[in-house]
Chain A
């Protein structure tokens, strides 16, 4: 098991009250998996993703329960310096807006070479500014530069050895996202976490970036966790999908299975709300109601106030995961034994 998130609970404690952002997230990934984590804005998918590298701002965040195991190691128990090494060696992460995620005042070479140096070397042996003039340091920096140029080619930026000297504002949005992917891949990570990687890009560029990620999965055997609210992105890239609602994963299934045979009432509603090319289906259906206020979430299943199949048990007991098919799990009382 590459990634095993068990019953993760996260709260944000602010002056306005305690917001129970995550309430028992379960998520598993095997090496080589491409998993999509989908859900509406505010459902906690980004917070789940940020918990893996330990980047949740604390305070105000407090993890009250649960474990995050990466290759069997407990991530939440790591010290800050262990976390930093863990992020450098084992994880790669890209975010939504490629414009703000690159530092505007350094050129790509500075940023990419730093990513290479700090992800592939011991922190102490990276030649800093003071030792930069040593011949050994020059060799190290030269090697890192070569590697950076290779990475530019890997992510499909033509003319990498020339463009690496340019600044972020001289790149287009899609090219910037490619640069960020190159930085994330510099240390040959075990897992790439892509938090809404295409949301800020237009549709053609989105397709290019998804194809790039797809290609990298095949070429490098990369494991990828894609966080998105876009079901199309999931259908295009992922093998497995986890659907989140109001701070919990409520259904996981292989991607085809989920689209063909959604079992959780929320997933069913969500798929009915997706427009298709099939015009005869007529009007789109929405899910009645709105997402709950996480400072005072509903008891039991958080979806119960909006659920068409609500039962008494839903209002009191948080549903555990029930197997509803091969590798298909739904966190819904409808599938309890004897229902």
Chain B
């Protein structure tokens, strides 16, 4: 099939992209000033201990050799090791990545499920009361900084109303369901453990809500613009002239015409939220990739930084490919090739 060939080609093209990305990150992280070995070895370490540590991690080698060693390891599934904790990077990613993925998916879901109908409503009632209300709320969410919203939500939802816990992914006194995907809500559902699902969901609620707000506003505004544009098309006038009910025109013909724009913004937001989860993870003490990335960067812990970057690269590429494939499904004029 053409689609299979297309997918294969796109996937193969990801490899040079990742090589470029890794080279860039490698170079930037190594030319930064700082003494990672010193940080890892501690202030009391002697010169011999430092040299031994550097040798153990290959840091005494010339930079090109270090890079080639790293890439060579990567192709064999060795993502390296943290200088600081000595844990394998792959093991850390296995724990932290699903957490961030879960948080991001939840936030994107909220932004889409609320933002698309709100934008639609706003466009259909253009310049009328519902439009004004939606636009003011969207402006509100765009304008307030996430950290401030996060604290307000913690204080209102978590403390005053006491609806949701305000930190961590799961009740600290209980054991989470066995990790299959690493996303606790999904794992709980796989075990049909609805109690655990509820606990995980309540931990996820506030951070996901806070994370979604910026995107919620963008999704709403882009949807509004796309619907307005679609409503202005000649084909809508033709459909009205045919006597097709406006409700059907909106939910069938106009909606399909706006899906490409909505899909684009949702995919972009997914990427941005994933990278931007750091702040929310920090405030909610949510053990995800963002928190891990910040800690690794502060210690100039090279291999986790590389691993995180490459993982983000892979995720972004896959989202892009999935989006492009979806375009072709939505719009029959788009050909794969």
Contact with B along A106-149 (1 / 0, CB 8 A): 11000000110011000100001000000000000000000000
Known contacts: A114-B244, A118-B248. The answer to whether A105 contacts B238 by CB under 8 A is no
Contact between chains at B332 and A55 (CB < 8 Å) = no
Name, among B233, B239, B243, the residue most crowded by chain A CB atoms within 10 Å (CB to CB): B243
A68: CB under 8 A from chain B?
no
Looking at B235, B245, B332, which has the most chain A CB atoms within 10 Å of its CB? B235
Whether A118 and B240, one on each chain, are in contact in the complex, defined by CB atoms closer than 8 angstroms, is no
Among B237, B242, B252, chain A packs the most CB atoms within 10 A around the CB of B242
Verify if A249 is at the interface (C-beta below 8 Å from B): no
Chain A interface size band reads: 35 or more
Which A residues are CB-close (under 8 A) to B245?
A: 84, 118, 123
The answer to whether the Cβ of B139 comes within 8 Å of any Cβ in the partner chain is no
Q: Are B333 and A169 in contact (CB under 8 A)?
A: yes
- Which residues 210-263 in B have Cβ within 8 Å of A in the complex? 233-235, 237-246, 248, 252-253, 256-257
A55-B241, A106-B256, A118-B242 known; A101 vs B234 contact (CB < 8 Å): yes
Q: List 30 A-B contacts (CB under 8 A).
A: A53-B241, A84-B240, A84-B244, A84-B245, A87-B240, A89-B243, A92-B242, A93-B241, A95-B237, A101-B237, A103-B239, A103-B253, A103-B256, A104-B332, A105-B256, A105-B257, A105-B330, A105-B331, A105-B332, A105-B333, A114-B244, A114-B248, A114-B252, A115-B244, A118-B244, A118-B245, A118-B248, A119-B242, A128-B248, A184-B242
Mark A residues whose CB is within 8 Å of B: 53, 55, 80, 84-89, 91-93, 95, 97, 100-107, 114-115, 118-119, 123, 128, 167, 169, 180, 183-184, 186-187
A119, B245: Cα distance in complex, Å: 10
Cβ of A106: which chain B residues have Cβ within 8 Å of it? 252-253, 256
Q: Nearest Cβ distance between residue B18 and chain A, in whole angstroms?
A: 34
Q: Which of B63-80 contact A (CB under 8 A)?
A: none
Contacts of B257 in A (CB 8 A): 103-105
Residues on B with C-beta less than 8 A from A80 are: 246
Cβ contact within 8 Å between B241 and A167: no
Query: Are the C-beta atoms of B331 and A104 separated by less than 8 Å?
Result: yes
Candidate in B244, B248, B330, B331 with the most chain A CB atoms within 10 angstroms:
B244
**Residue of B whose beta carbon sits closest to that of A96:** B234
What is the interface size of chain B, counting residues whose CB is below 8 A from a CB of the partner?
22
Residue of A nearest to B333 (CB): A169
Contact A102 B235 (CB under 8 A): yes
Taking CB atoms, residues of chain A closer than 8 Å to B235 are: 100-104
Nearest Cβ distance between residue A56 and chain B, in whole angstroms?
11
Bound-complex Cα distance A89 to B244 (A): 11
Nearest-Cβ distance from residue A21 to partner chain B, whole angstroms: 17
Complex-state Cα separation, A91 to B242, whole angstroms:
8
Complex Cα distance, B244 from A128, in Å, reads 13
**Nearest 3 CB-CB pairings of A with B:** A88-B243, A87-B243, A100-B234
Q: What residues on A are CB-neighbors of B253 within 8 Å?
A: 103, 106
Separation of A13 and B97 alpha carbons in the complex (Å): 57
Name the one of A53, A91, A92, A167 contacting B332, with C-beta atoms under 8 angstroms.
A167
Q: Are A187 and B243 in contact (CB under 8 A)?
A: yes
Q: A55-B237, A101-B234, A103-B257 are in contact. Are A183 and B242 (CB under 8 A)?
A: yes
Question: Which single residue of chain A is at the shortest CB-CB distance from B237?
Answer: A55
Chain B residues whose C-beta falls within 8 Å of the C-beta of A123 in the assembled complex = 245
Which residues does chain A contribute within 8 Å of B248, judged by CB atoms? 114, 118, 128
Residues of B with C-beta under 8 A to A118: 242-245, 248
Chain B residues, CB < 8 A from A104: 235, 257, 331-333
A84-B240, A95-B238, A97-B234 are known contacts; what are 6 more A-B pairs with Cβ within 8 Å?
A88-B243, A89-B243, A95-B234, A106-B256, A167-B332, A169-B332
The closest CB in chain A to the CB of B260 belongs to: A105
Query: Interface digits, B184-225 against A, CB 8 Å rule (1 contact, 0 not)?
Result: 000000000000000000000000000000000000000000
Complexed CA–CA distance, A80 and B239 (Å): 15
B202 shortest CB reach to chain A, Å: 33
Q: Which of B238, B330, B331, B332 contacts A107 (CB 8 A)?
A: B332
Cα distance A105–B235 in the bound complex, in angstroms: 11
Residues of B within 8 A of A128 (CB): 248
A91 to B238, CA, bound (A): 12
Query: A89 — which chain B residues lie within 8 A by C-beta?
Result: 243
The CA of A303 and the CA of B253, in the complex, are separated in Å by 44
List B contacts of A101 (CB < 8 A).
234-235, 237-238
Q: Which residue of B lies closest to A89 (CB)?
A: B243
How many whole Å from A130's CB to the nearest CB in chain B?
12
Nearest neighbor of B239 in chain A, beta-carbon distance: A103
**Residues of B with C-beta under 8 A to A183:** 238, 242
| Bound complex: CA A114 to CA B234 (Å) | 17
| Smallest CB separation, B327 vs chain A (Å) | 11
A102 and B238 contact, CB distance less than 8 A: yes
Give chain A nearest CB distance to B244 CB in angstroms: 5
Instruction: Give A117's nearest chain B residue, CB to CB.
Output: B244
Once the chains are docked, how many angstroms separate the CA of A175 from the CA of B15?
A: 46
Contact B333 A100 (CB under 8 A): no
Once the chains are docked, how many angstroms separate the CA of A114 from the CA of B247?
13
> Which residues of chain B have C-beta atoms less than 8 A from A167's C-beta?
332-333
Contact B332 A85 (CB under 8 A): no
* Chain A residue contacts of B241, Cβ below 8 A: 53, 55, 87, 91, 93, 95, 184
CB contact list, B83-128 vs A, under 8 A: none
